[in-house]
Structure 1
Amino acid sequence: MDEKYSGETFGSDSSSTNVAHSPRETELDVVPHEATSSLQQVRRELGKRSGRLDNVGTNLGLLLPSRLLSPGQYANQIRRLCRHDKTTVVERHSYLEDEYQDLLTQEEKRTLTKLCERLLELTTKDSTRDAAEAEVIALMTNDPLVRFPMRSTIMYSRVEGVTPGNEFGNAILFTEMHHQIWSGFIGGHKCNSHFPKISAGSLIETLTNRNYFPHKVPIAYLSLALSTEMEGEALDVLRHLWYEYLDYLHRGPSVDVSRHIQYLDTHVKSILSSGNSLDDFISVLDVLPYGRTRPSLFWFLILAL
């Protein structure tokens, strides 16, 4: 398994997962914020200094049986290996796919793949399924470097019970276009052959198109984008997307909207953490509809405003 994977390119299987995508046209087909060259250099240099990385906890996680570690512990080992404490979300999304080759050594790539397999194993157990699935989605949306081995593991059925035919595995592979669109937006990529056309319409499509259920992946990306400091045209796109999303929550089919409402407080917390003014994203009029149907959410939003 290791020999086979070591010869692969991270993300080399992206073309084998085709997703139907029909982005709506809007007036805001723009290029988001540019990632600076200095930011892009940090993680590449860190990746070349593997000898300085403290691997004790990571290696211990591979030696111990998976049942002895929680999904959160495996996820934290992956974050440590990928230097999430030394990089920003914007930086992690700022590379083109072929640039990820230089970020980790071959040994680190193998370790990352094994840790991803261990975490995916926990999605097949009743006692850890929910927590493990949440960690997988959080890691894949926070860092494309983690998404590639996760996707490859599912596609090649390296973990029993997590395959393209499995519900969770299929959901992850089915949302590959979501990853590309949102990663391009958060990372500030120009529209080119590597990334689909990025617009408020294409982003909202990932959240509202009924063919894309379940929506956990784009919902996670929305919260991530709302927590990111943006300016200029990128911020305009984000606001336009958010206004369309609120309109959908007010007017969409109730069975669909109910899947989104439970995350609304998380989105609001993300806006607050970004440093942006909440007043620029939500008003009292947006909150009023929840007064009778969801009083706890209503008062949370009122107090936040």
Structure 2
Amino acid sequence: IYVRVDNDTMVDDGTGTMVDSSVCYEIATITLEVNPLPVVDLEDNYLLCVNTNGTEVINPLEIETGLSTSDYTFEWTLNGTVVGTGSSIMPTQGGSYTVTIEDNLTGCISTDTTLVEESAPPSIEADVITPAFADVHSIQVTATGTGISEYEFQLDGGPWYNNEPNDNTYIFNDVSGGEHTITVRDINGCGESSTTVMVMDYPHFFTPNGDTYNETWQIYGISDQPDAVIYIFDRYGKLLKQLNPTGPGWDGTYNGNPLPTSDYWFTVEYREPGDTSDTKKQFRAHFTLKR
């Protein structure tokens, strides 16, 4: 920038008009230097994966500024408390992180803030919400976790299902009798958890033919009721077997002799799973033995 300063001397030219008799001036220059602020552009949000109770980081997260420590000085704060002085930081908990960056040459300073949100594998609660021996069984699964967790639900390694965001309950319908594995995973990639649940029911057939598949018949989910009473009859009402509820089941024989392919009947006295009373129920149905 150039600056000229004039000191003008004015005199009367004899006609009453004032004119310059001489001009004194000086020219000077001013140099302005414009230094850029340190440039950093953090994401608005970052995701931190922690364990189920939120005390341990599962997948480490590093937030980078992309600037050199030889050219800049850094200060990171978490909710106002200084937690780092490097060009990057690895958060150990969620919160609002601010980085202040100073150019070591110019002294220019800039800041940026980001939010670190936590997510974790879920804790699972799975319950059979239909009675034992129902025509159609349903399992209700509830997942709870840390932070912004959203979940997907899987039954026995099948497809994944999810509900509306923030709805952490899912119901599997038309579930067969027996043991099932429920798996729930964090939709953000922060892990999964599994549990098993037993649906009390009975196999509609079994095949004691020596191929190691379906060799015996037993009621699913009754092994934790050793006082349950199970009787097996032929189609004419003849008692063939009193079955131990904690045993492997019936092998399709009577007095050591294999019985033919046919329908067989059973009765069972049991307590409804989850019922804290000592009230017993009775159920009767039939199944098929196939040779």
Mark yes or no: TM-score above 0.5: no
Which has the larger share of strand?
2
Structure having the higher Rg? 2
Which has the larger share of helix?
1
Higher RCO (C-alpha under 8 Å, 6+ residues apart): 1
Q: TM-score, normalised by structure 1?
A: 0.20
